[in-house]
Structures are given as structure tokens and as C-alpha cells.
Amino acid sequence: MATFDHGDVHLHYEEHGSGFPVLLVALGGLRSTIAAWEKAPWNPIEQLAPNYRVIALDQRNAGSSRGPIRASDGWHTYTADQLALLDHLGVDRFHMLGMCVGGAHILSMLRTAPERVAAAVFLQPIGLEGNREAFHELFDGWREEIRDAHPEAGEDDWAGLRRNLYGGDDVLWSASTAQIATFDHPMLVLMGNDRFHPQVASRTLAATAPDATLVEQWKDADSLPVAQKAVAEFLAAHTP
């Protein structure tokens, strides 16, 4: 287990392979951990490590990572953690691959440090389509799991964090369509199709970003090998 501390945040991370860096952000919402990749249709650590320096982490307050809860926290807070870790590891430019909540984290990174991202892969990004309460329920369940470990956090802190993550009206949560339209990074979007990952999120992202490609079918047995090949070819084509 590798660990990194910055300020009052303690992060657990792993590195696999060598080559151009790829930062992974796993599925699981606020429980996004390295281990969560085992629940994915395929594990990108195993696929990418032979050709890339794969960096994966437990997000703060998930798995073995810890950080305080503050009312001012939001997507930008997680992005700051990721950038601090990458700086610690001496990584300047990198690809990003994120599943589920990882899509929102990629867009937050593109808002914050666009010059550092070479290309991005989105696997069924989360999105807003009449499902806000579902995200609130997930947040509230996570809060109850970890509340006792955060005596520093009052009700205003929990409420502020939930509002900053899931209180807005942007379809992709962490970036508006106007902002996405300015991201000229190559993007590969593998479409979602369920309550937390509605089609509209993937379609909006692919239609709005200037250099995005949408893959509609990718999780069934016949489509999965084709999707894996598409991801490998996409990253190879856009590796500096």
C-alpha cells in the first residue's frame, strides 16, 4: 500500500506498469476506491498496465483515504487531491479514465488544469435526469457510514458538501455544457443507460465536446472486446 499526505488529507494509491501516465477514477460514487474496479465490466488496471503507468487511488473518505468534511468542499476538492498526488509523483501530463462518478471528476479536472490532460475516457458517466433524489440518497447513506469518523463536521458541512456535489442543474454535474464546449481534448465516451448513468449524460457530453466519440454498446459479451480495443487504440493514438 502506498500513501501520500497533503495537508490534513491522507490518500491511499497504487501504481502499476510504466510509460505515459493514466490516472484512473473508479466507480462507486463517494465510495470510489481502487478495489471498486473489480466490479467493473473489465479492470482497466489489468488492461493498461502493460503499456502505461497506471495510477489509481481511493478518493478521500473512501477505502483507506481520509480527509476532513467542510461546507466549502465539492468536485474541486477531489481534483485538488488528485493534482497533489500527481505532483508528488512527478507527473505533469496524463490521460484520465473514469467510470461512473469518474466522469464528473474528469470534467472537474478539465476545468481546473486543462493543460495537463492529454485525453480522457468516460465509462458511463453519471448525469442528472430526474434522479437528483437518488444521488441525495446515496450521499446520505455514505454520510451515515462515516459520520462518527468526522467529529469536525457539523450539519452545515454535510449539507454544503451535498449541495456542491449534487445541488446544481448541469446534466454532467461538475461542468456546464458551455464549459464542456470549450474542452478540445480528445474524448471517448462509452454510454451509460440506467438511473445513475442516463443516456442523456453520455449523449450530451459526446455532442457538446468538440472532439468526442460516442460508443453506445460496450458492456455485453459481444461488445466488450470491441470496446476494450477501442479504448486501447484511442489512448495509443493520443499519447504524446
Residue 11 has a pLDDT of 98
Note the pLDDT tens digit of each residue in 211-222. 999 999 999 999
Confidence tier at 1 by pLDDT (50, 70, 90)? confident
Nearest to 186 by CA among 215, 207, 209: 209
Amino acid of residue 146: I
Average pLDDT over all residues of the chain: 98
Contact 108, 79 (CB under 8 A): yes
Question: How much of the chain exceeds pLDDT 90, in percent?
Answer: 100
Cell of 132: 437528483
Cell of 142: 455514505
Enumerate domains of the chain plus CATH numbers.
2-237 (3.40.50.1820)
Note the pLDDT tens digit of each residue in 156-200. 999 999 999 999 999 999 999 999 999 999 999 999 999 999 999
Distance (Å, whole) CA 229 – CA 63? 30
Nearest to 189 by CA among 124, 119, 109, 110: 124
Q: Is the Cα torsion angle 115, 119, 103, 216 positive or negative in sign?
A: positive
Alpha-carbon distance values, 108 to 113, 173, 223 (Å): 9, 9, 29
Cell of 57: 487511488
- Neighbouring-strand partners of residue 187: 120, 212
pTM of the predicted structure, to 2 decimals:
0.98
The alpha helices in the chain, defined as continuous H runs, are 44-48, 75-88, 101-112, 132-146, 155-166, 177-180, 199-208, 224-237
